[in-house]
Amino acid sequence: MVMHFWAPEIDPSHPMHCTQAERYALRRLNDGSFVAIAGDDQRLVDVGSTSEAFLFHTHEAALRAATELNHSGRGPLDVVKVEWEPA
């Protein structure tokens, strides 16, 4: 039996309008750098701080990305929670 739960803070019809203040980033386990998306070709680059990193709105999305990157040999990556204040 599959149960689907809906939460207004992660409304799939408005994924970029998350009401939760939490954000998540991907951190490399080998050197502690964070992952960002750069350039028009959207390549992954390493950055030194979470303020430069790509931030995910949900833990699930960050975990999915880390898992896919780890499986494709572009890790090891872990998900970290970032203290973030909305503007």
| CB 42 within 8 Å of CB 3 | no
Helices (H) and strands (E) in the chain, counts: 1, 4
pLDDT interval class at 3 (50, 70, 90):
very low
Helix (H) or strand (E) holding 44: strand 43-47
pLDDT in tens, 9-55: 555 555 555 556 689 999 999 999 999 998 888 889 999 999 999 99
Domain boundaries defined on the chain:
19-82
pLDDT in tens, 58-78: 889 999 999 999 999 998 999
User: Global pTM?
Assistant: 0.74
